[in-house]
Amino acid sequence: MRIISGIQPTGNLHLGNYLGAIRRWVKLQDEVEGADNFLIFLADLHAITVYNDPAELRRNIHGMAAALVACGIDPARTVLFNHARVPAHAEMAWLLGCTARIGWLNRMTQFKEKSGKNREGVSIGLYAYPVLQAADVLLYQATHVPVGEDQKQHIELTRDIAMKFNTDYGVDLFTVPEPLIGDTAARIMSLRDGRSKMSKSDPSDMSRINLSDDDDSIAQKIRKAKTDPEPLPDSFEALSGRPEAENLVSIYAALTDRTPQSVVEEYAGKGFGAFKPALADLLVESLGPIRGRLDDFAADPAALDRILADGSARAAELAKPTLEGAYRALGLPR
């Protein structure tokens, strides 16, 4: 088993990233056997597909590295690195871009959402980005990719690219990876609208819990979270059609490692006046220690740079044989 996943180093790490991805990575880090079989990276070449202020991007790279370590990613057990320090990603993205089909990319829902009505005006990088994501995974012969639900389509594209390349060039070069999607927290929704996902690009800060939020903001955001006047039923299925309630119960379940069903059973017949304070306490208790560590690590950017430089050197070594294999398969002498 070799596992890889990535995250964009954008400003706000929120509860969706934490429950949908990072918390699961920390658990998997302990389960994967053998050195160099667990890799996590900052997708900084993805972050530049839209304009970023360079000084802010630099700060965000440090901020995200600090957040991952604060959440429990251990650089001694995980190869922790960033795209920009491992040129093999950009090289492999070009090679795979010649295998990926325009029709495949045209189906990517995330591109449609992000480009909106301005399709002609967005960068080529934003459009081609899923090919870079395929390179990220295929370079390392990863078998599994733990992601939230929103990334599933990109992993399916990665599989298609791997299979087409292997077939077209008559090689068995790329491992075809499987997505690993959790069941309870695969899609954490906005606190203001249970039908759209919690996201760093939502203009309303009340829609998400950031890992940097203090206790009072967390409590206030949960108090003001949109809900309905009905009490909680005694089965999770009975919450269908009540997306906001379903979301809060899922958050509670993910934080306590319980099933959503056991959470509704505990609160059956009670309203949100009882449920919300319990959820707010739980969040404060879970996120407080992370925030404390985050502040400590963020104060030492040089140490974070060392971690990323070391991880990147290891990643570059691991990526080399597959990159060389791809050049060879294509008939490109080096």
* Interaction site with ligand TYM (CB under 6 A): 5-8, 16-17, 20-21, 43, 46, 133, 136-137, 145, 147-148, 150-151, 185-188, 197-198
Q: How far apart are CA 68 and CA 241, in angstroms?
A: 35
| Least CB distance to ligand TYM at residue 252 (A) | 15
| Least CB distance to ligand TYM at residue 197 (A) | 4
What is the C-alpha R_g of the chain? Answer: 21
| Least CB distance to ligand TYM at residue 220 (A) | 20
- What is the enclosing helix (H) or strand (E) of 318? helix 301-330
Q: Return all residues near 280 (Cβ < 8 A) that are at least 6 apart.
A: 218, 219, 222, 223
Q: Parallel, antiparallel, or unpaired for β 178-180 and 38-42?
A: unpaired
How would DSSP label each residue in 116-173?
Answer: TT-GGGS-HHHHHHHHHHHHHHHTTT-SEEE--GGGHHHHHHHHHHHHHHHHHTT---
| Least CB distance to ligand TYM at residue 170 (A) | 27
Token duo for residue 310: 């070391």
Specify the residue, 137 or 218, whose C-beta has the smaller distance to ligand TYM: 137
Q: Return the amino acid letter for 55.
A: A
Closest CA to 130 of 103, 155, 94: 155
Using DSSP's 3-state secondary structure scheme, residue 179 falls into strand
| Least CB distance to ligand TYM at residue 262 (A) | 21
Specify the residue, 235 or 259, whose C-beta has the smaller distance to ligand TYM: 259
| Least CB distance to ligand TYM at residue 325 (A) | 20
For residue 204, how many C-alpha atoms fall within 13 Å in the half-sphere facing its CB?
Answer: 12
Q: How many CB atoms lie within 10 A of CB 101?
A: 12
Instruction: State the residue number with the nearest CB to ligand TYM.
Output: 20
Specify the residue, 164 or 200, whose C-beta has the smaller distance to ligand TYM: 200
| Least CB distance to ligand TYM at residue 187 (A) | 5
Specify the residue, 183 or 300, whose C-beta has the smaller distance to ligand TYM: 183
Q: First vs last Cα of the chain: how many Å apart?
A: 30
Q: How far is CA 223 from the centre of its chain?
A: 27
Specify the residue, 80 or 198, whose C-beta has the smaller distance to ligand TYM: 198
Specify the residue, 187 or 293, whose C-beta has the smaller distance to ligand TYM: 187
> Is 200 annotated as catalytic?
yes
Identify the residue whose tokens are 């604060």.
70
Q: How far is CA 176 from the centre of its chain?
A: 20
Q: How far apart are CA 196 and CA 194, in angstroms?
A: 6
Specify the residue, 153 or 220, whose C-beta has the smaller distance to ligand TYM: 153
Catalytic residue among 112, 152, 164, 200: 200
Catalytic positions, please? 114, 197, 200
